[in-house]
Amino acid sequence: MRSVSGERSAGGLIIILFLICLAVDVFAADQAEQIIRITAKKFEYSPNEIRLKKGVPAVLEFTSLDRLHGFICPDLDIRTDINPGKVSTVRLVPQKAGTYDFHCDIFCGEGHEDMAGTIIVEE
Ligand SMILES: [Cu+2]
């Protein structure tokens, strides 16, 4: 009798541990960094619409396919140079949901003024 109930509670314990692990996994995945890779070239960013989750750390990794470009998002207070042959990293934790415009701030030619995009921070 005793051993049967012992096995049962052991089985119950394993199920509980399994559920805890599952919950921790889901939580960890939710809080993991958002890594977004963006390429820059005359005269566009790809992607030019970046979606981030509010409160979740984000890493933006920029590479240039042709020449020196810039990236600035004034309302999120982030900027970087984007040099060809190098990954430029910007880290942020978006605190407020909204739509934020970014653009190139290093003159790169005829279409420079149109080199822009948006970051959308979602709840
Ligand atoms: Cu430019």
For residue 85, report the distance from its CA to the centre of ligand 1, in Å. 17
Encode pLDDT of 29-55 as tens digits: 556 899 999 999 999 999 999 999 999
For residue 110, report the distance from its CA to the centre of ligand 1, in Å. 9
Query: Which of these, 100, 110, 111, 105, lies nearest to 48 by C-alpha position?
Result: 100
Domain ranges of the chain: 1-32, 33-122
For residue 43, report the distance from its CA to the centre of ligand 1, in Å. 7
Encode pLDDT of 71-110 as tens digits: 999 999 999 999 999 999 999 999 999 999 999 999 999 9
Is the domain spanning 33-122 CATH 2.60.40.420? The answer is yes
